[in-house]
Amino acid sequence: MYAAVRRYEGVTDPAAVARFVEEGFAPLVRQVPGFVAFYWLDAGNGVVVSTSVFQDRAGAEESTLRAANFVRDNLGSLLPHPPEVMAGEVVASA
């Protein structure tokens, strides 16, 4: 399995972003081949984090592309800074 983690800082309205993500992005990411799971968390202090898990690297990369497009098209004013993106093979899980 592979995962992509995106960390956004300077979030102006985490609750509004969560609604957009739940209603708009979550359905998009579920359509990516190899989808396993998606999580969105409010880390506090204007920081939100998403984690997408897929069966393969291609799915994780596609999720990051879809996230960038979704943010650009829908959330630019609420997510003013580009995310820190980390991705890689899942080497342990529980």
- What tens digit of pLDDT does each residue of 75-93 get? 888 999 999 999 999 999 9
Contact 6, 81 (CB under 8 A): no
Phi, psi of 20 (to 5 degrees): -60, -45
Catalogue the long-range contacts made by 49-53 (C-beta closer than 8 Å, 24 or more residues apart).
Answer: 49/5, 49/6, 49/7, 49/8, 50/5, 50/6, 50/21, 51/3, 51/4, 51/5, 52/3, 52/4, 52/5, 53/1, 53/2, 53/3, 53/90
- What tens digit of pLDDT does each residue of 23-81 get? 999 999 999 999 999 999 999 999 999 999 999 999 999 999 999 999 999 988 899 99
Helix (H) or strand (E) holding 1: none
For tokens 């098209």, the residue is 73
Phi, psi of 51 (to 5 degrees): -130, 125
Does the pTM surpass 0.85? The reply is: yes
